[in-house]
């Protein structure tokens, strides 16, 4: 309080003005560097999830013998290694698929259980003639198409996953067939299936 601030009339002259302009500029720049450096470093770390790519894994979901060719969906959990930041969980349930095999078809069709609308888990009650999503009640026929077509809240039919049959050679000399599925995660809400990776 001993030194009150300079009054308007004590304003510095033009030279001083130029000098103080540079001083102000320098002060602002220095201050900005001091504040923005830690902020920028924080932001970079914060953005790091954008740099991480996820790859869809191809996983064994069932034996072919477990999928009778009666055209009815059967649910199988998808078990794969899962990483979460500093943890690695070996052989975790990471999602689910419905396998449907029509009469005389060699390979089943695989549908991911994730709803194309908002990502809920589509349900299937044994014996029912359609799949039903519990969230916004989208319904799908057993071939994955939407029951009410474009009137359904889901923007597209259920997402299909590539299926591969692999022969398993046993020690006994016998063979068994396994169903492998590429477990792709799709973006929700679009007319076209787009991978999230």
Partner 1 sequence: MSAIRTIVDWLDDRAGVRELVNEALYESVPGGSRWRYVWGSALVMAFVTQALTGIFLWMAYSPSTQTAWESVYYIEHEMAGGWLLRGIHHYMAQMMIVLLAIHFIQVVWDGAYRAPRELNFVIGLVLMLVVLGLSFTGYLLPWDQKGYWATNVGTELASQAPIAGVALKKLAVGGSDYGHHTLTRFFALHAGVLPALLVGFLVLHIMLFRRHGLHAKDRNRAPDTTFWPDQVLKDSVASLGILAAVLALTVWKGAELMAPADAANPYDAARPEWYFLFLFQFLKWFPGELEIWGAFIIPGIVVAVLFVMPWIGRSKAGHLLNVALMGVLFGGAAFLTAQALYDDNFAAWNEKTEDNAARYEASQGFLDAKQEAEHEARRVIELARSPAKIPPTGALTLVYNDPYLQGPKLYKQNCAGCHNYADPENSDLRWAYLVNKNPSAPNLFGVGTRKWISGLLDPKQIVSAHYFGYAGSPFVGDGDQTDMVDFIQESLSEDLDNEQRQAIQTAFKKIAAALSAEARLPSQAEADARDAEMITEGRALLTGGLADLLESGTSCTDCHTFGEMQDIGSPVLDDYMSRRWLLDFLSNASDERFYGELNDRMPAFAPHDDLRLNQLDHKSLELIVDWLRSDWYRPSQDTDASETANP
Tell me which residues touch partner 1 (CB under 8 A).
46-47, 49-50, 52, 54, 60, 63, 66, 75, 77, 82, 84-87, 92-96, 113, 117-121, 123, 126, 132, 134-137, 139, 150-156, 168, 170-171, 176, 178, 185, 187-191, 196-197
**Residue with Cβ nearer partner 1 (103 or 171):** 171
**Whether 123 contacts 131, CB under 8 Å:** yes
74-84 and 175-183 strand pairing:
unpaired
**Residue with Cβ nearer partner 1 (18 or 93):** 93
CB of 87 to partner 1, least distance (A): 7
CB of 45 to partner 1, least distance (A): 11
**Residue with Cβ nearer partner 1 (95 or 193):** 95
How would DSSP label each residue in 67-117? S-SSS--EEEEEEEEEEETTEEEEEEEEEEEEEE--TT-SS-EEEESB-TT
**Residue with Cβ nearer partner 1 (119 or 193):** 119
Q: What is the Cα–Cα distance from 26 to 20, expressed in whole angstroms?
A: 9
**Residue with Cβ nearer partner 1 (7 or 87):** 87
CB of 10 to partner 1, least distance (A): 27
Which residues on neighbouring strands pair with residue 110, listed in sequence order?
Answer: 99, 161
The one-character DSSP state at 195 is B
**Whether 159 contacts 111, CB under 8 Å:** yes
């Amino acid at each position: 309080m001993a030194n009150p601030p300079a009054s308007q009339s004590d304003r510095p002259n033009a030279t001083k003005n130029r000098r103080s302009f540079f001083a102000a500029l320098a002060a602002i720049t220095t201050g900005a560097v001091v504040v923005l450096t830690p902020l920028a470093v924080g932001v970079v770390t914060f953005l790091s999830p954008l740099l991480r790519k996820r790859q869809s894994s191809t996983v064994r979901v069932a034996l072919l013998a477990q999928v009778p060719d009666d055209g009815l969906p059967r649910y199988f959990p998808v078990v794969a290694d899962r990483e979460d930041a500093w943890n690695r969980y070996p052989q975790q349930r990471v999602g689910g698929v419905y396998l449907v095999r029509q009469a005389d078809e060699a390979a089943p069709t695989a549908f991911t259980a994730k709803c194309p609308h908002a990502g809920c888990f589509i349900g299937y009650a044994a014996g029912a003639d359609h799949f039903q999503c519990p969230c916004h009640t989208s319904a799908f026929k057993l071939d994955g198409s939407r029951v009410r077509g474009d009137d359904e809240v889901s923007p597209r039919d259920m997402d299909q996953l590539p299926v591969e049959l692999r022969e398993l050679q046993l020690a006994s000399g016998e063979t068994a067939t396994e169903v492998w599925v590429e477990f792709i995660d799709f973006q929700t809400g679009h007319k076209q299936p787009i991978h999230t990776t």
